Structure 1
Amino acid sequence: MAPTPPPGTAFSSGPHGRSLIATQDFTPGSLIATFSSPTLALPDGPSMKTTCNYCLRVGSNEGFSPVSLKACTGCKAAVYCGPICQRAHWKAIHKAECKMFGRIREATGKDWLPTPVRALAQVLLTNDKTIRDPFDGDDPLEGNLDGFKADEQVWGDFELQAMAAMTYSGVFMNEDGLRVAMRFLCQIQTNAFNRLDADTGMSGIFLDPALARVNHSCVPSAFIGFDKRAATLRAERPIKEGEEITISYIENDKPRSVRRQGLRLYHFECDCPRCLDDLDVYQVAQTSPVISLNSFSLQPDLAKFREPAIDKSGISMKQIEDIYKAVYDQTKPEQDNSIEAAQARWKLCKPLVEAKMWAVEPLPTTILLLATNWQTNYKWAVYALPLACFLATHCDPIKLVAPFMSWRIKGIMVITKLLAFTGELTSSGDLAKRCTHEGIVGALAMADQVTMCQALLHIVVHQGSIGAAEDWDVLKEAKMMLKDLESLPGRQDESNLVQAWAKDPEDLQAKAFFESEVLKPVNTLASFAPEILEDVLIQGQGLVVRR
């Protein structure tokens, strides 16, 4: 059956092929559509043991997570958060899959399959072991078959994957059957979305034929969020009636050559303004229609977006691409979080540092990896706070101008939790023993960290309510933390001023209080980040010394 467009949208065709068009206006953050009946929704292979295989909630089968998972008693491979999900998955697919995992274990000694192989096997099993097209109808899914065939290595990998799926699913294999199975695999590769979220442990693929109609742009008008077995499509900027709705299939803050490589398996070359004019993130941010929304954020100075204090005279886009490639070729940042790797990345990024182009990759990721590593390190956790403040004020707002984007919200939550941690050290008098940087110690000693946390949580709740579902874990946690903070005795005046600011950021008294008690200490802490990075990554000091 051909998909139908969600309310408020229509299917169309144009220069970029099939597309999704708005039939009404959408404001930034507004929900365009929810897709809750996917053709495919499954965790990736390694995550089968940590994710409910039906609702896709991330949990644990070890009993230490709020979501306790139990394995299927038959195959021991798939896990579930409860009997309702187990029964639903059994009816949908696992009745056939359960036997398949027995064959897999017998043949390989493993109880999981690579994600594309399992996805294809599900398609084959759903069709009663006959080769029928689950993506049929008057408007079948695009498969880019000729493009995949032209890539000998990719086509060879697809053939192996298709043969494995047919073998384990029990589908009779012949030349015609293999050819059709490979077409299914091409359609899955072309139309499925990656549910990866390293922060939550969420992973796997999601395929809905209607959502697959949304085309790509490196300057998208909308974005996708995943929540369990559903996907939501929300406006990233204002969308007018009759306008095409676009999303980014890739991380669009990378250099143009990297973006093009990321789009290789989609078999098209993006012709958006970012790609045609080879714009950097600052140039894209300068023309964003949602800059004004940052008046309620950690970067309310809108001039920072429109007139960034950077110096591009000594660096070209070609040099930026070379830096990016050198970093990822030499240091493998996603695999190596050692201080030695960070030092190598920092040295390669020095031209970006000198140009103060802090938001240009790979510089933000270099800082983020170090900050993430320090957050869980007893010795270095205090030093993670200035880095987190710097990312939230100098990097993330330029990369993601809309303040309701989940990445920016999660960055503010990181600052909040680090402030709670350092607040305990400050009140106990242990901060100076743990931190040798006088600037950090002095800034935190002068700051009202409870007020800072309260204001930051209001930002999270406000922006999260715009751009995320109400049951988003980050939003729920922020609401609980905020409720606890605002019930603390002895700080009614401060709490009232924060609440007044949250209600009206332009209220003169409340705004002055926010700037003095929240923005000033955040910016002070952020100002220490460059020297901390320089001390640790260039001078190689074991501790940051400023005494």
Structure 2
Amino acid sequence: MPPTPPPGTAFSSGPHGRSLVATQDFTPGSLIATFSSPTLALPDGPSMRTTCNYCLRVGSNEGFSPVSLKACTGCKAAVYCGPTCQRAHWKSIHKAECKMFARVRETTGKDWHVAPFLLPTPARALAQVLLTNDKGIRDPFDGSDPLESNLEGFKADEQVWGDFELQAMAAMTYSGVSMNEDGLRVAMRFLCQIQTNAFNRLDADTGMSGIFLDPALARVNHSCVPNAFIGFDKRTATLRAERPIKEGEEITISYIANDKPRSIRREGLRLYYFECDCPRCVDDLDVYQVAQTSPVISLNSFSLQPDLTKFREPAIDKSGISMNQIEIIYKVVYDQTKSEQDTSIEAARTRWKLCKPLVEAKMWAVEPLPTTILLLATNWQTNYKWAVYALPLACFLATQCDPIKLVAPFMPWRIKGVMIITKLLAFTGELTSSGELAKRCTHEGIVGALAMADQVTMCQALLHIVVHQGSIGAAEDWDVLKEAKMMLKDLESLPGRVDESKMVQAWARDPEDPQAKAFFESEVLKPVNTLASFAPEILEDVLVQGQGSVVRR
């Protein structure tokens, strides 16, 4: 049966090929569609033993209660969070896959998930397709209206095609499909369809990984200035409006990180075999220019960046730097460091030095500068010595970088940034109350700002932001949202804080109420901005001076 469009949408065809269009208006944050019966949904190879292989619940990170995972007694490879998921997976695919894993062990003496026999995730996905579709003869991706495969484009790329062939042959061997020319041709087409239409579920913060393929969701086309976004929660994908969407408008998402320079975005889209013609690409706009024209700027009145002039009239100076220079900086940064995720201090120093023109222009939201700060902040958060210094960096990212890159305050990444500040404030609050902060932190500005601040009030207000925006842009059972609700309940039950709690709640109900707004600006926004103001000098001191006067004084 061909896929059917979700309610409120329709399938269409246009200049970008097959598409999904709205048949009604959608407001920012509203749910467009939920996809909970995917054709394929599986964790990646390295996460196969830490993720339930059916519901995709991460075993090591589920709120406050880590999920216990048990391996299949037959193959010992797939793991599950409970018997319900194990039975469902057995019925849908694992009855056949379990035998395949056993063949891997018999052939190699190693399990499927153990290197060097760890196959790429698309290969396991292809094996599942072959196992459940009459030895690969029938098209599982709807034979009457097959998914786009970009077959000719992949064939033209000798290196990619050769890699695909190896993956297809491995999947055929272990799934028991006869290795002949016709079978390989069909398997290769399936693999191309998987590569073209599956979504990456990767979320490093939660440990979520793997691929998700739903034929209806695959109809949604790409734009570097999208009007919608996808969220994943276990075995479900949700499509939500990022901007206002009018009836008849095409629904678009970004297939890639759309805040990178244009040449990098084009390289990220290379294996989709199209060239994006969105305004960001056609006019080579930077993130500030895109933010200036966003229709959701006003929603930031309830956020950590309620000053809307920061969006419309950013205090930046682009006179000394061009988009071409920014592209060169980006490429050189990642040529000279090991990877985009390298958190070493050496990599941070290299990036900071190369990003100096962006620093001088105060273009803090332009990559690779935000990632440079983020990786350092992430590294410091888990370091006993440096955790306190991560707080100003987190405040800086949440006020100067994230709002420009993602104008809608309900976007999950922005919500996570606020949650990080909350947790760091909880940590520093304990140090402040015990008198240990001055011993742990030699930066007088940080110590003084936190000594003057009511960190409990700050946490309570930030948690209201997380709960409010998370309820708009994410599912109710999103781990971050659930944790925020629990923390907020605990804070609001603390004795001796009736007046402060009432003021925070009054602001949360009406952020434009003059008295509540003044309270928020004084007790929350002012200390957050003060802490954020220390970030540039700390970064300069650590990355240029090598832990000089700022962190020692």
- In structure 1, distance between residues paired with 2:279 and 2:452: 46
- In structure 1, distance between residues paired with 2:108 and 2:296: 52
Residue 214 (structure 2) aligned to one of 208, 211, 215: 208
1:345-386 CA distances to partner (integer Å, 9 max, x unpaired)?
A: 100110000000000000000000000000000000000000
Alignment check: 8 A CA contact 1:120 1:162 kept: yes
Relative to structure 1, the CA distance from residue 405 to residue 371 in structure 2 (aligned partners, 3 Å threshold; closer, same or farther) is same
1:280-320 CA distances to partner (integer Å, 9 max, x unpaired)?
A: 00000000000000000000000000000000000000110
How far is 1:102 from its partner?
1.2
Alignment check: 8 A CA contact 2:150 2:273 kept: yes
Relative to structure 1, the CA distance from residue 375 to residue 294 in structure 2 (aligned partners, 3 Å threshold; closer, same or farther) is same
* Higher mean C-alpha displacement, 536-545 vs 232-241: 536-545
- In structure 2, distance between residues paired with 1:64 and 1:24: 39
1:232-265 CA distances to partner (integer Å, 9 max, x unpaired)?
A: 0000000000000000000000000000000000
Provide the aligned C-alpha RMSD in A: 1.5
Alignment check: 8 A CA contact 2:32 2:241 kept: yes
- In structure 2, distance between residues paired with 1:373 and 1:12: 46
- In structure 1, distance between residues paired with 2:63 and 2:46: 19
Alignment check: 8 A CA contact 1:61 1:70 kept: no
Pair 1:438-2:444 in alignment: yes
How far is 1:64 from its partner?
10
Alignment check: 8 A CA contact 2:59 2:68 kept: yes
- In structure 1, distance between residues paired with 2:61 and 2:499: 46
How far is 1:332 from its partner?
2.5
* Higher mean C-alpha displacement, 296-305 vs 125-134: 125-134
* Higher mean C-alpha displacement, 131-140 vs 388-397: 131-140
1:459-478 CA distances to partner (integer Å, 9 max, x unpaired)?
A: 00000000000000000000
Alignment check: 8 A CA contact 1:141 1:187 kept: yes
Alignment check: 8 A CA contact 1:439 1:546 kept: no
Secondary structure (helix, strand or coil) at the match of 2:552 reads: coil
* Higher mean C-alpha displacement, 330-339 vs 79-88: 330-339
How far is 1:105 from its partner?
2.0
Alignment check: 8 A CA contact 2:62 2:479 kept: no
- In structure 1, distance between residues paired with 2:318 and 2:61: 51
1:58-98 CA distances to partner (integer Å, 9 max, x unpaired)?
A: 00499996211000000000000000000000000000000
1:107-161 CA distances to partner (integer Å, 9 max, x unpaired)?
A: 3343233201100000000113242110134321000111001001111111111
Relative to structure 1, the CA distance from residue 543 to residue 484 in structure 2 (aligned partners, 3 Å threshold; closer, same or farther) is farther
Relative to structure 1, the CA distance from residue 172 to residue 273 in structure 2 (aligned partners, 3 Å threshold; closer, same or farther) is same
Relative to structure 1, the CA distance from residue 184 to residue 221 in structure 2 (aligned partners, 3 Å threshold; closer, same or farther) is same
Relative to structure 1, the CA distance from residue 121 to residue 140 in structure 2 (aligned partners, 3 Å threshold; closer, same or farther) is same
How far is 1:339 from its partner?
1.2
Relative to structure 1, the CA distance from residue 465 to residue 524 in structure 2 (aligned partners, 3 Å threshold; closer, same or farther) is same
Relative to structure 1, the CA distance from residue 64 to residue 518 in structure 2 (aligned partners, 3 Å threshold; closer, same or farther) is closer
Relative to structure 1, the CA distance from residue 64 to residue 239 in structure 2 (aligned partners, 3 Å threshold; closer, same or farther) is closer
Alignment check: 8 A CA contact 2:61 2:206 kept: no
Alignment check: 8 A CA contact 1:50 1:69 kept: yes
* Higher mean C-alpha displacement, 330-339 vs 307-316: 330-339
- In structure 1, distance between residues paired with 2:510 and 2:74: 57
Secondary structure (helix, strand or coil) at the match of 1:34 reads: strand
Secondary structure (helix, strand or coil) at the match of 1:11 reads: strand
Report the equivalent of 1:160: 166
Relative to structure 1, the CA distance from residue 116 to residue 484 in structure 2 (aligned partners, 3 Å threshold; closer, same or farther) is same
Alignment check: 8 A CA contact 2:129 2:136 kept: no
* Higher mean C-alpha displacement, 536-545 vs 240-249: 536-545
Relative to the length of structure 2, the TM-score reads: 0.97
Unaligned stretches of 5+ in structure 2? 113-118
How far is 1:333 from its partner?
4.1
- In structure 2, distance between residues paired with 1:488 and 1:61: 27
- In structure 2, distance between residues paired with 1:64 and 1:249: 32
* Higher mean C-alpha displacement, 162-171 vs 64-73: 64-73
Alignment check: 8 A CA contact 2:227 2:253 kept: yes
- In structure 2, distance between residues paired with 1:314 and 1:4: 52
- In structure 2, distance between residues paired with 1:375 and 1:60: 19
Secondary structure (helix, strand or coil) at the match of 2:32 reads: strand
Pair 1:302-2:328 in alignment: no
Alignment check: 8 A CA contact 2:226 2:252 kept: yes
Alignment check: 8 A CA contact 2:63 2:480 kept: no
Secondary structure (helix, strand or coil) at the match of 1:544 reads: helix
Report the equivalent of 1:534: 540
Relative to structure 1, the CA distance from residue 544 to residue 333 in structure 2 (aligned partners, 3 Å threshold; closer, same or farther) is farther
Alignment check: 8 A CA contact 1:216 1:249 kept: yes
1:153-196 CA distances to partner (integer Å, 9 max, x unpaired)?
A: 11111111111110000011210110011000010000000000
* Higher mean C-alpha displacement, 33-42 vs 125-134: 125-134
Unaligned stretches of 5+ in structure 1? none
How far is 1:43 from its partner?
0.3
How far is 1:337 from its partner?
1.6
- In structure 1, distance between residues paired with 2:142 and 2:32: 25
How far is 1:335 from its partner?
4.8
Relative to structure 1, the CA distance from residue 521 to residue 64 in structure 2 (aligned partners, 3 Å threshold; closer, same or farther) is closer
- In structure 2, distance between residues paired with 1:325 and 1:227: 33
* Higher mean C-alpha displacement, 52-61 vs 92-101: 52-61
Alignment check: 8 A CA contact 1:392 1:412 kept: yes
Secondary structure (helix, strand or coil) at the match of 1:129 reads: helix
Identity over aligned pairs, percent: 93
- In structure 2, distance between residues paired with 1:3 and 1:65: 37
Alignment check: 8 A CA contact 1:49 1:60 kept: no
Relative to structure 1, the CA distance from residue 508 to residue 64 in structure 2 (aligned partners, 3 Å threshold; closer, same or farther) is closer
How far is 1:103 from its partner?
1.4
Relative to the length of structure 1, the TM-score reads: 0.98
Residue 288 (structure 1) aligned to one of 283, 294, 308: 294
Secondary structure (helix, strand or coil) at the match of 1:41 reads: strand
Report the equivalent of 1:419: 425
How far is 1:456 from its partner?
0.1
Alignment check: 8 A CA contact 1:438 1:546 kept: no
How far is 1:542 from its partner?
5.9
- In structure 2, distance between residues paired with 1:441 and 1:421: 13
Secondary structure (helix, strand or coil) at the match of 1:13 reads: strand
Pair 1:483-2:466 in alignment: no
1:384-421 CA distances to partner (integer Å, 9 max, x unpaired)?
A: 00000000000000000000000000000000000000
Alignment check: 8 A CA contact 1:436 1:543 kept: no
- In structure 1, distance between residues paired with 2:362 and 2:110: 50
- In structure 1, distance between residues paired with 2:205 and 2:380: 16
